[in-house]
Amino acid sequence: MPVITCIEDLKRLHRRRAPRMFYDYAESGSWTEKTFRENTSDFEDIYLRQRVAVDMSGRSTKTQMIGEDVAMPVALAPVGLTGMQHADGEIKAARAAEKFGVPFTLSTMSINSIEEVAEATTKPFWFQLYTMTDEDFVSRLIQRAKDAKCSALVITLDLQILGQRHKDLKNGLSAPPKLTPSTIANLMTKWRWGIGMLGAKRRNFGNIVGHVKGVTDTADLGAWTAQSFDPSLDWDKIAKIKEQWGGKVILKGILDADDARMALKVGADAIIVSNHGGRQLDGAQSSIRALPSILEAVGDQVEVHLDSGIRSGQDVLKAVAMGASGTYIGRAFVYGLGAMGEAGVTKALEVIHKELDVSMALCGKRTLSEVDRDILMIPENFEGRWQS
């Protein structure tokens, strides 16, 4: 087993072991990828204040997200096609998250279905919902998540239409992969992945195939999205979905203070400051740069979480110090999964946990409740002063 010391190590292994089209799917931003890049580079612009001679015994990274106990404020983000990165990927990631004590969020566009993940786990997970024009299908999906005892509905708001990721078009992304001379040549070098896939429970979109009338080919994500996602989603519809769900709701994809106020109005239990990992509006601000204005607008009235750009425990610490009460990792756990299956997801969580714990201690703090903006050195004008 290779020595893994950081998320970058897992990423290198993921790249080597998973078919190119799926690694590229995870590792893409939309268009020029400016927002994708800045999600991580903006974290690097923030410094941590080192403190010394502070008793650092008895530390803990435990906290809560939407009232649920978590071993650290890091949930697994919903990621489409996770079960193509590694056989039964959603089941494996959900199990790793459960054992570690952090929330797992299942994507609507997952390979393993809600029912399969529920059967393989013992604690409730969260379900991420995309809204489709087929309202019956959406209602049934919500009911399936209820039946599976999911403890939160994460409604994604920033993907009614799909941002263009060049590599997906060039690679002919599909699930399962369409066999062309170039995919066959690539798959022949991924024997470990192929053997795993032969024994997988599922190789297509488990929440969709067999559940949507009139749709036979969901393999092409771009075409399916254009055909099925609801371009008319608005705040009234979100309020109706919330009512239909009747449980905790997390609204994902908020990058603007006005939208954060709207989310508050519809009664969200938490919002996720997110630009979808830089995969949607290229040219939008990074999540960490957008966070302060959103906290200022609604931070005392609703839980504010953050995703997009978290690759280390130091990033988690910076987001929490700025005021986020939870964060999400998408790519960071997918690298682990693509590298080594469930053990790789566990490794990703261990890496991030250790980085968070040690960095918190070196900033002179023993618990996350002691952590605040004081441990950060943020460049002047980090949030930007923009012409109105």
* Total binding residues toward ligand GLV, as defined by CB under 6 A: 5
Flag whether 149 is marked binding: no
Spell out, one character per residue from 93 to 132, where the chain touches ligand GLV: x when CB under 6 A holds, - when not: ----------------x-----------------------
Half-sphere exposure of 106 (CA within 13 A, CB side): 37
Work out whether 20 is an interface residue with ligand GLV (CB under 6 A): no
d(CA 340, CA 386): 44
Beta bridge partners of 63: 70
Distance of closest approach, residue 173 Cβ to ligand GLV, in angstroms: 9
Q: Does residue 80 belong to the site contacting ligand GLV (CB under 6 A)?
A: yes
Q: Is 14 known to sit in a ligand binding site? A: no
Give least dist CB 309 to ligand GLV, A: 15
Question: Which CB, 36 or 125, lies closer to ligand GLV?
Answer: 36
Residues 148-167 within binding reach of ligand GLV (CB under 6 A) = 159
Least distance in angstroms from the C-beta of 248 to ligand GLV:
21
Q: Where are the alpha helices (DSSP H) in the chain?
A: 7-17, 20-26, 34-44, 82-85, 89-100, 114-120, 135-147, 166-171, 181-187, 191-198, 221-228, 235-245, 257-265, 287-298, 313-322, 331-362
330 touches ligand GLV (CB under 6 A): no
Residue 331 within binding range of ligand GLV, rule CB under 6 A: no
The separation between the first and the last C-alpha atoms of the chain, rounded to the nearest angstrom, is: 55
Measured from the CB atom, is 84 or 266 closer to ligand GLV? 84
Vertex 190 angle, CA 189 and 194, to 5°: 130
Q: Are 284 and 318 in contact (CB under 8 A)?
A: no
Closer to ligand GLV by Cβ: residue 80 or 364: 80
Minimum CB distance to ligand GLV smaller for 86 or for 279: 279
Q: Does 252 bind ligand GLV (CB under 6 A)?
A: no
Helix/strand/coil percentages in the chain, nearest 5 = 45, 10, 40
Q: Which is nearer to ligand GLV, 175 or 340 (CB)?
A: 175
Confirm or deny that 307 is annotated as ligand binding: yes
Beta bridge mates, 64: 69
Beta bridge partners of 326: 305
Residue 259 near residue 268 (C-beta atoms within 8 A):
no
Binds ligand GLV (CB under 6 A): choice among 276, 311, 347, 353: 276
How far is CA 197 from each of CA 40, 76, 86, 91, rounded to the nearest angstrom? 32, 22, 7, 13
Minimum Å gap between C-beta 279 and ligand GLV is: 4
* Residues forming the active site: 276
3-state secondary structure of 110: coil
Q: Is 279 in the site for ligand GLV (CB under 6 A)?
A: yes
- Min separation Cβ 28 and ligand GLV, Å: 8
Residue ranges of the annotated binding site are 25, 78-80, 107, 128, 130, 156, 165, 252, 274, 276, 279, 307-311, 330-331
Positions that interact with ligand GLV (CB under 6 A): 80, 109, 159, 276, 279
